[in-house]
Structures are given as structure tokens and as C-alpha cells.
């Protein structure tokens, strides 16, 4: 009985290997892979390792911001052009309210076939937990890190004074909080978090009564944090704070610790999707399975100072590493399920900051 079982398994393994060889051969016949990805150099360098792994497939990589990606695809769709196979970017509300309904993507789930990629034990929360769309077919987050929406200079504000989201409403902090403009995309999700955890009334109270100082750019906010200009800030990512610390700045700045159910996590730039009518579908399949492998994810995390969802990859940024509980109970506002919350928070901020 055991011998026959082992024989069957060996045949299955051989068939899978043969099928994969066929996919690779078809991809090499296509000879090309087109990717729209982050403009950030370490991410680009990590993706470009695919060229070394599969030298017969020419990689065409174009770096874009999220607004540039939207403008490019929208323009190309108007004239029925389909130039791109894969996008690796950050996804937010418009991906679910506009792009998916308009048919920008094809399901990426059928492309993922490698057993080690599909294994639940290799992913924080299990494999399926990475899908950001409700159908669990289109947009896959391979990265996850604590968003750390509130950073506090503990040389100015003691833990006893501020150790919860509610404490942000204390009148003594009026005018002492600096945040990225919550009326614009890419500003973090402090208002979304406050609205979700404390309710819309308190989120509006925070904006109106605490009179947070609005930074128009990450650079401006980073300068304020480096100078200690404001004891409480929101909008810089954990990696941006870590960069300041590496420069000997912001040494007493710490993230506000929140319980798992109030912990916001984000995939950052770490989500992948298959564009509709991809011109090189076999090359796209080879890339997706390669990119979600342990080796490629380890390279991505190390180069980008970020955290892969793969449990067999060391955190690239331990300060934003998530526990299983925080991932399971926490909140991400980059998903289809919460797209309406992010939009509602933006609208609340626009109204409150008139």
C-alpha cells in the first residue's frame, strides 16, 4: 500500500515538473515580459533579478507612481491597447471602486501553481489571506507591515500622557500634532483609523479641535520629525522613520502601540495583479510563481527594508513586523472590504478642514 502511494506521488510530482517545464518553454517562446512597477530603485532591482533567473525572457520594466499607472492604463484602454502583463504596486480605493469594475485586471489566482507558493504554512494568515479583493482572485498582497499611524517623540511626551488613540483628543495636544494632508491620497490612514475605531464624531473632533498642522509632502513632515518640531506626527512610514534613525535623527521617536484589533497594517508597494489581456501570459505565470517564491521574497524584503508575508522570510524592517494575531485581527484600508472606509475618511477630512 505504501509503495503504491509513493509511486502515485512520484508520478504526480513528475507530471507537475513536466507541466512547469512546458510553461517555461512557452514563456521563453513568447520571449518577453512587461511590468509596471514601483519607481523606488530597490524594488526595481529586486524585480529585475527575474532576468537572471530566466535569461531567455526579456524583462521590460517601467517604473510608475500609482497616479501615473492609472493615467497610463486609462489612456491605453481608451484605444484598446494592452501592452502590459503584470503590475506590482500599492493598491487603494480606486482599484476596487473603478479599476476592477472597469475590467482592468484578469484573475491572477489561476496563474499561481507552485506547491510551495500555495502552502498556507508559508504565509502569514495563510495563502488566501493575501488577496485584497473580495473574490480573492485579482490583487494579491505579498507584503504586510504595521502602518504605525502615530509616532511620538517620547522625549517630549511621556507614555503615561499618550498611550492610546483616545489620548490624541486630549486638549493639551492641540496644535502639537503634525500630519500629512488627509485630503489627499497617499497620506496614510490616521483619519480612517480614528473613524473606524473611535467613530466619525471623534475623528471630526480631532481634525477641528486639535488643529493638526498639515504637511503637504513626506519630505516636509520628515524634516519636522528630524527637528523635533512637533511631538506627535502621522504620515511617515516605518521605513522612513527607520531611515531618520539610521542618520542619527529622531532617536526618541516611537510608534504608538495599539492592541491587535486597532492595529492598521498595509501592503505598501507590495501587491501584484495581472492586467487584462496580458500579451505574454506564460511569461506572466512564470514571473508570478518565481516572485512569490521564498528566494525572491527574501530578496525583496532585504533590498526594500520591508516585510514579506512569507513566514520563511526574515523581516526586512522588524519595527513594522506583524504577529499572526495582529494580522488576523488588524485592519487594512487597502482592501476592497474597507475601500468605502478610506473614501469616507477622505470626505470627512475635506469637510472638516475647509
- Evaluate whether 191 touches 203 at the Cβ level (below 8 Å): yes
Q: Assess whether 297 and 184 both reside in one domain.
A: no
| Per-residue pLDDT tens digits for 289-332 | 999 999 999 999 999 999 999 999 999 999 899 999 999 999 99
Report the percent of the chain where pLDDT is more than 70: 95
Q: Assess whether 207 and 65 both reside in one domain.
A: no
* Res 255 pLDDT > 80: yes
* Res 5 pLDDT > 70: no
* Res 131 pLDDT > 90: yes
Q: Assess whether 122 and 271 both reside in one domain.
A: yes
pLDDT band (50, 70, 90) for residue 151? very high
pLDDT at position 1 is 59
| Per-residue pLDDT tens digits for 59-69 | 999 999 988 99
pLDDT at position 302 is 96
* Bridge partner list, 142: none
Give me the domain span that covers residue 63.
11-145+266-322
Sequence-distant (6+) residues with CB within 8 A of 85 are: 33, 34, 35, 274, 275, 278, 279, 280, 281, 283, 284, 287
pLDDT band (50, 70, 90) for residue 17? low
2 lies in some domain:
no
317 lies in some domain:
yes
In this structure, what C-alpha cell is assigned to residue 82? 494592452
Sequence-distant (6+) residues with CB within 8 A of 81 are: none
Q: Assess whether 227 and 274 both reside in one domain.
A: no
335 lies in some domain:
no
329 lies in some domain:
no
Q: Assess whether 158 and 204 both reside in one domain.
A: yes
336 lies in some domain:
no
Q: Assess whether 87 and 223 both reside in one domain.
A: no
Q: Assess whether 212 and 233 both reside in one domain.
A: yes
d(CA 322, CA 325): 8
Mean pLDDT of 11-28: 76
327 lies in some domain:
no
| Per-residue pLDDT tens digits for 71-99 | 999 999 999 999 999 999 999 888 999 99
pLDDT at position 18 is 60
330 lies in some domain:
no
Q: Assess whether 165 and 97 both reside in one domain.
A: no
Mean pLDDT of 116-141: 98
Instruction: Specify the number of domains making up the chain.
Output: 2
pLDDT at position 186 is 66
More confident residue, 184 or 150: 150
Q: Assess whether 87 and 236 both reside in one domain.
A: no
pLDDT at position 185 is 72
pLDDT band (50, 70, 90) for residue 14? very low
Tell me the angle at which helices 2-30 and 281-291 cross, rounded to the nearest 10 degrees: 120
Q: Assess whether 176 and 231 both reside in one domain.
A: yes
177 lies in some domain:
yes
- pTM reported for the whole predicted model: 0.88
In this structure, what C-alpha cell is assigned to residue 218? 513626506
pLDDT at position 13 is 47
d(CA 329, CA 352): 30
pLDDT band (50, 70, 90) for residue 12? very low
pLDDT at position 94 is 87
CATH of the domain at 90: 3.40.190.10
* Res 4 pLDDT > 60: no
* Res 16 pLDDT > 90: no
Q: Assess whether 80 and 129 both reside in one domain.
A: yes
More confident residue, 184 or 9: 184
Mean pLDDT of 240-265: 94
Q: Assess whether 89 and 196 both reside in one domain.
A: no
Find the Cα–Cα–Cα–Cα dihedral 259, 264, 269, 270, rounded to 10°: 60
Phi first, then psi: what are they for 82, rounded to 5°?
Answer: -130, 95
| Per-residue pLDDT tens digits for 167-205 | 999 999 999 999 999 998 767 789 999 999 999 999 999
Amino acid at each position: 500500500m505504501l509503495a503504491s502511494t509513493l509511486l502515485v506521488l512520484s508520478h504526480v510530482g513528475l507530471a507537475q515538473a513536466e507541466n512547469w517545464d512546458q510553461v517555461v518553454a512557452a514563456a521563453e517562446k513568447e520571449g518577453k515580459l512587461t511590468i509596471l512597477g514601483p519607481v523606488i530603485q530597490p524594488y526595481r532591482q529586486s524585480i529585475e533579478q527575474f532576468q537572471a533567473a530566466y535569461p531567455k525572457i526579456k524583462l521590460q520594466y517601467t517604473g510608475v507612481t500609482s497616479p501615473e499607472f492609472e493615467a497610463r492604463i486609462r489612456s491605453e484602454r481608451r484605444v484598446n491597447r494592452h501592452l502590459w502583463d503584470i503590475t506590482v504596486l500599492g493598491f487603494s480605493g480606486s482599484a476596487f471602486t473603478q479599476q476592477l469594475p472597469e475590467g482592468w485586471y484578469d484573475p491572477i489566482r489561476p496563474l499561481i501553481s507552485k506547491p510551495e507558493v500555495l502552502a498556507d504554512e508559508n504565509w502569514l494568515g495563510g495563502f488566501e489571506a493575501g488577496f485584497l479583493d473580495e473574490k480573492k482572485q485579482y490583487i494579491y498582497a505579498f507584503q504586510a507591515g504595521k502602518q504605525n499611524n502615530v509616532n511620538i517623540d517620547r522625549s517630549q511626551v511621556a507614555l503615561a500622557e499618550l498611550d492610546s488613540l483616545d489620548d490624541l483628543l486630549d486638549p493639551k495636544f492641540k496644535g502639537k500634532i503634525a500630519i500629512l494632508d488627509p485630503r489627499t491620497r497617499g497620506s496614510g490612514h490616521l483619519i480612517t483609523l480614528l473613524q473606524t475605531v473611535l467613530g466619525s464624531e471623534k475623528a471630526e473632533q480631532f481634525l477641528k479641535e486639535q488643529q493638526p498642522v498639515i504637511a503637504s509632502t513626506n519630505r516636509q513632515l520628515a524634516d519636522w520629525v528630524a527637528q523635533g518640531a512637533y511631538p506627535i506626527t502621522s504620515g511617515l512610514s516605518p521605513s522612513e522613520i527607520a531611515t531618520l534613525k539610521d542618520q542619527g535623527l529622531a532617536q526618541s521617536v516611537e510608534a504608538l502601540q495599539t492592541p491587535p484589533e486597532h492595529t492598521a497594517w498595509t501592503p505598501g508597494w507590495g501587491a501584484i495583479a495581472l492586467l487584462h489581456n496580458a500579451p505574454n501570459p506564460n511569461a506572466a505565470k512564470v514571473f508570478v510563481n518565481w516572485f512569490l517564491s521564498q528566494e525572491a521574497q527574501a530578496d525583496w524584503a532585504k533590498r526594500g527594508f520591508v516585510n514579506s508575508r512569507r513566514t520563511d522570510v526574515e523581516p526586512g524592517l522588524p519595527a513594522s513586523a506583524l504577529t499572526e494575531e495582529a494580522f488576523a485581527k488588524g485592519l487594512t484600508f487597502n482592501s476592497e472590504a474597507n475601500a468605502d472606509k478610506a473614501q469616507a475618511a477622505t470626505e470627512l477630512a475635506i469637510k472638516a478642514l475647509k
